């Protein structure tokens, strides 16, 4: 199974700040990587797929990059509504797997 390791698991940031979350995979996944945002009490929401393609309706301050076994999610200017937990998921091979999550809180 492909393991996904997210870092950090928790970060504190200010509104307007830049945030970068890393997802490392245990083997190459051909860029079949997605990022989700989950707010407390809500279902997850797809932000990015194929490592860097923004899902329709997602603000452009979110971006994804990376290749091979290292991927990043960047929020260029953190907004109050962005405080949430973020998960990566690999879709290259079964079983599909998620990273452990990164909780972004207000500084």
Partner 1 sequence: EVQLVESGGGLVQPGGSLRLSCTASGFTFSDHYMDWVRQAAGKGLEWVGRIRNKAEGFTTEYAASVKGRFTISGDDLKNSLYLQMNNLKTDDTAVYYCCRAGRVGGPSGYWGQGTLVTVSS
Smallest separation, CB 90 to partner 1 (Å) = 10
Rounded (10°) CA dihedral 57, 60, 62, 63:
110
Q: Count other Cβ atoms within 10 Å, centred on residue 6.
A: 19
Contacting partner 1 within 31-90 (CB under 8 A): 34, 36, 38, 43-46, 49, 55, 87, 89
Contact between 102 and 76 under an 8 Å Cβ cutoff? The reply is: no
Contact between 38 and 85 under an 8 Å Cβ cutoff? The reply is: yes
For partner 1, which is the closer residue by CB, 14 or 65? Answer: 65
Smallest separation, CB 16 to partner 1 (Å) = 28
Q: Does 98 bind partner 1 (CB under 8 A)?
A: yes
Site for partner 1, rule CB under 8 A: 1, 34, 36, 38, 43-46, 49, 55, 87, 89, 91, 94-101
């Amino acid at each position: 199974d492909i393991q996904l390791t997210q870092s950090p698991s928790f970060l504190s940031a200010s509104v307007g700040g830049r945030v970068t979350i890393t997802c490392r995979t245990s083997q190459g996944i051909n860029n079949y990587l997605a990022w989700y945002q989950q707010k407390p009490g809500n279902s997850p929401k797809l932000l990015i797929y194929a490592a860097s393609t923004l899902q329709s309706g997602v603000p452009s301050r979110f971006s994804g990059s990376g290749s091979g076994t290292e991927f990043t999610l960047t929020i260029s200017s953190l907004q109050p509504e962005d405080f949430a937990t973020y998960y990566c998921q690999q879709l290259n091979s079964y079983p599909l797997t998620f990273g452990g999550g990164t909780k972004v809180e207000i500084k």
